[in-house]
Structure 1
Amino acid sequence: MESSLHVYPQSVDSRYGKLLPDPADPVNDRIYEQLHHVPIGYSNKSNIKIKTIYLHGGKNQWFIEEGRDFFFTTGCKVNHCSFTYNRQEGRTADVVVFGNPYQLPFRPPWPRKSQKQIWMMSALETPPHTTSMRKYIGHFNWTMSYRTDSIIVSPYFKYEAFPEKKVLPYKNHAAGKKKKVAWFVTNCFNVESGRMEYAKELQKYIDIDIFGGCGTKRCRKSEWDKCRQMVQRDYKFYLAFENSKCKDYLTEKVQTGLLYDAIPIVLGAATWEYANALPAHSYIDVEDFKSPKHLAEYLQKLDENDDLFNEYFRWKSYGTFVETKPWCRVCSMVHDESFPTIWYDNVDSWWHAKSACIKKDTHWWYNVVD
């Protein structure tokens, strides 16, 4: 049974309705509305109360400095918030945040101060790679994750169209590229998406250079910038294969291909989710092909035709990637005294619902007749 999300009062002002998930509109991520939300009566005057956000687990896990500087350097419209890692302050903080899986204790470390205190679950990993929250039933009322039905949608990236198309100088993105497919991957076995099997089959028909623990080539983390420049210089295609096939799960792998002039080949999220999140004709979805062999034949066709290849980069004239500033949005919403009360009956059944992920048949293409 999937958890129901409750909002009180049920009939909220339309101004707040635009900030909350709408089951009838799964593609509405509300990021724009939340970014531009400023509570009525709020100002940047020094007498505004500072809201405290407690991050459970310590700086070495969150990589955010304590204090208020973050909200100024990030350019938050509402900036009267402060981060703390002090457990004593956490007991009375305005927002208490637990990251799943790494900063989430087996059970709540203390009772909630009051119903007005916000407890928020943050997750960037997929449900199969997160821990149970059954001990937190009735505790979490906000969520922050890549899923569009989270209260604070925090995707790995966000593409936004320009108000008007830009005229960019012509560039042949195929020029100088002598290699075909690059793949950076270290997790070879703990995956549910079937990506390893698919890649091995694809490799029978087209050259794939595999970097990391799953291949023969190496790229150190300390040299990641050089590796991405190498992709931009030498490769035409980039495998953006996720380890899970879960709702809305599109990671930085896709963005890496787009930003470094290699057409990303995607496997993971649903076809309509890629279409909603990415610019049109900027990527190649494995689901559009009967088998890895059919995909390889199409890649060979693009490799031999610069005009067809360059069509995949027209998107650069139409939009760009933007910052989504999730903590700015948290600060804004917690400052709004009129913001509706939200809670989940069972946040674990919402996050780990059967519909959240699918285990792809890793050999779905084997029975294809050419």
Structure 2
Amino acid sequence: MVRFPPILRRWMTLLVIVFVVLFVGSRIIVVMNSPSLYYYDEEEIQEGLWDGLLQLIQYNEEREESAPLANEISSYRSLQWSLIQSRKVEALSLTEDEQTIQIHLPGWDFTEYANPPEEQIDNTKEEFTFSDETRATKLPKMKYPVQNRFPIIIWWTPFTGHKHIVRQCGHGRCLFSHNRELKDHTKTRALMWYGTDLKFKDLPLPRQSKHDWALLHEESPKNNWPIVHKPIISLFNHTCTFRRESSYPITLQYLPSMEYLTAPLLFDVLEKNRFISEQGLAPVLYVQSDCDVPSDRDRYVKKLMEYIKVDSLGKCLHNKDLPDEYVDPLTMDKEGFHKIIAKYKFTVSFENAVCNDYITEKLWRTLSLGSLPIYMGSPSVQDWMPTTKALILANDYPTVEALANYIKFLDENDDEYEQYFDFKNPGKITNSLLKNTMKSRTWGVDDIEQENFIDGFECHVCDRVFEELLADAKRQKPPTFQANDSHYGCPRPQPAVPGMKMDNSLRSWVEEFDTRSAVIAKATQQMVKSGANSSRVLNDFIKKVFSEMKSNNFDHNHYENELVS
């Protein structure tokens, strides 16, 4: 037997100890930083967690081009977290409504796993691999036990970070999934869309009578005009939009809190006057980089510049540079950018489209920072203002020159100017609609202690699904949920400056509204109602609608005289 010298044996022993310590320490760190695999009893591992996780990856990352794995590890952990949270919710006691449905409706059992579908997807085929082809991994055959227990609601346009999660809502639990393969599952009761991503050649057809359709769109129609037309919006049962008439309204989506609105002025009127005289600031600020929009705001501001000095710091009508660190639009929430706005006495706060209740951060941020908004956008904006005197409405003035003259008057009369910020003082907000809406809303803005309106809308749809199931269970007439054009409708674009002829940009928006989007809306409605098996036939219905329009002597250029610049 070979014996090493004592000094060598001591060094070898030390190296072994160091190696063991490093190995154990690294494993402890990994475990501490990994999501727990236990949700109730540390002795009970979550049965089916990994099965569901692998199945999710297969369905959502390999078969769905609309939801690729941007980052495999983070997506994997997100899926794992969703499943863990789902198992916690699964373990909750049945709600009263779940018990009623379970007793009276055959096929519904919220307490036990039902038998998995007889046909299981064979994941051992070559095509079922991770999106990273260099690390392709064949997946074993798995199943979804959870999908047989709860009402299923599918995001047809994946919009949340939780690709497969069970949520506890007011009436009971629903499974929210990005998995389109569940479309024909017996438990699927609703499908959801995010408006920007809604594609009319990608609809789940034929539409099943038991399927509710839900639309979430907090933006203006600028990026998907057909939605504004009645034939499209009427296809939906549940809506979450800026309109107060929608089934889950989010009109105040850009107002975080009343405290945000009443935040103290960063600079008083005397300091703002000094910025004008010493730093050469204009009285009026305009910061927009989204140019030539449907509201026609750029042409209005260009006309305003003929009568009063305006600093335009964005790409639109640019005449003054921002500091380099704030050129990127993503920096607009930074404190330094906010201080730039707060220095100006007035800020042009025009929306990109004119729709009732469409009120964005362009207005709320300006009010919060203490720059007086010059506003054009929602015709109903005064319904939501803290007082009757909190902004300047451009449409209140017959001409741009008249507006400019009033701005000059306020610029020269500090006492009159300061009255517009009276709402900043304690107890001075007089608008009960604003106060009551903010007090009663169940979601928050940038508040980790509250759910956001996306989560809230998910539960809104889930609760309505339960209302329908409960009506069936009690042999009652089911509730009718039907959207209409008041849930989203916006008027035809028109020149922002009264009497001004349309330019090429505005003409294209009007043509989009009057012709293309209107035809798509009508054709889509006809396609869905016809019972078509695929939305790929949309072009056939578009041709049919155009043919009907021609037979009715429709003149594609019926407003040609109006379009001449």
Q: TM-score range by the shorter chain?
A: 0.5 to 0.7
CA distance in 2, matches of 1:292, 1:193: 15
Residue 123 of structure 1 corresponds to 217
Native 8 Å contact 1:54 1:96 kept in 2: yes
Residue 481 of structure 2 corresponds to 342
Q: For residue 229 of structure 1, report the CA deviation from its aligned partner.
A: 1.8
CA distance in 2, matches of 1:105, 1:365: 36
Matched, 1:235 2:363: no
Matched, 1:268 2:363: no
Native 8 Å contact 2:153 2:190 kept in 1: yes
Residue 355 of structure 2 corresponds to 246
Structure 1 residues 137 and 183, CA, compared in 2 at 3 Å: closer, same or farther?
closer
Native 8 Å contact 1:91 1:112 kept in 2: no
Q: For residue 330 of structure 1, report the CA deviation from its aligned partner.
A: 4.5
Letter in 1 for 2:226: S
Residue 363 of structure 1 corresponds to 497
Native 8 Å contact 1:99 1:121 kept in 2: yes
CA distance in 2, matches of 1:171, 1:139: 47
Q: For residue 143 of structure 1, report the CA deviation from its aligned partner.
A: 1.8
Structure 1 residues 267 and 227, CA, compared in 2 at 3 Å: closer, same or farther?
farther
Residue 54 of structure 1 corresponds to 154
Native 8 Å contact 2:266 2:339 kept in 1: no
Q: Percent identity?
A: 23
Equivalent of residue 286 in structure 2, options 167, 183, 198? 183
Structure 1 residues 82 and 208, CA, compared in 2 at 3 Å: closer, same or farther?
farther
Residue 236 of structure 2 corresponds to 140
Structure 1 residues 335 and 211, CA, compared in 2 at 3 Å: closer, same or farther?
same
Name the one with the larger strand percent: 1
1:213-362 equivalences under 5 Å are 213-214=315-316, 215-216=318-319, 217-218=321-322, 219-224=327-332, 225-226=334-335, 228-270=337-379, 273-280=380-387, 281-316=389-424, 317=426, 318-319=428-429, 322=438, 325=443, 326=453, 327-332=455-460, 334-335=462-463, 337-338=466-467, 340-344=479-483, 356-362=490-496
Letter in 2 for 1:361: P
Q: For residue 255 of structure 1, report the CA deviation from its aligned partner.
A: 1.0
Specify every segment of 5 or more residues in structure 1 that has no aligned partner in the other structure, as ranges. 1-43
After superposition, what is the alpha-carbon deviation per residue over 1:271-321, rounded to whole angstroms, capped at 9, x for unaligned?
xx0111222211110012222222222222222333322221222334579
Native 8 Å contact 2:288 2:314 kept in 1: yes
After superposition, what is the alpha-carbon deviation per residue over 1:161-180, rounded to whole angstroms, capped at 9, x for unaligned?
98xxxx99898632422242
Which is worse superposed, 145-154 or 45-54? 45-54
After superposition, what is the alpha-carbon deviation per residue over 1:99-142, rounded to whole angstroms, capped at 9, x for unaligned?
22324342413444542x32112223334541436996874211
Q: For residue 232 of structure 1, report the CA deviation from its aligned partner.
A: 4.4
CA distance in 1, matches of 2:462, 2:247: 12
Q: For residue 200 of structure 1, report the CA deviation from its aligned partner.
A: 0.7
Native 8 Å contact 2:346 2:372 kept in 1: yes
Specify every segment of 5 or more residues in structure 2 that has no aligned partner in the other structure, as ranges. 1-90, 96-109, 111-149, 276-280, 430-434, 444-452, 469-478, 501-565
Residue 194 of structure 1 corresponds to 296
Name the one with the larger helix percent: 2
Q: For residue 226 of structure 1, report the CA deviation from its aligned partner.
A: 3.8
- Tell me: higher relative CO, structure 1 or 2? Use CA pairs within 8 A at least 6 residues apart: 1
Residue 278 of structure 2 corresponds to none
TM-score normalised according to structure 1 size: 0.68
Rg comparison, structure with higher value: 2
After superposition, what is the alpha-carbon deviation per residue over 1:139-164, rounded to whole angstroms, capped at 9, x for unaligned?
421122112222221225377998xx
Residue 177 of structure 2 corresponds to 84
Tell me the C-alpha RMSD between the 2 structures.
3.8
CA distance in 2, matches of 1:341, 1:80: 21
Paired residue total: 304
Native 8 Å contact 2:212 2:237 kept in 1: yes
Residue 527 of structure 2 corresponds to none
SS in structure 2 of the partner of residue 245 of structure 1: coil
Q: For residue 241 of structure 1, report the CA deviation from its aligned partner.
A: 0.7
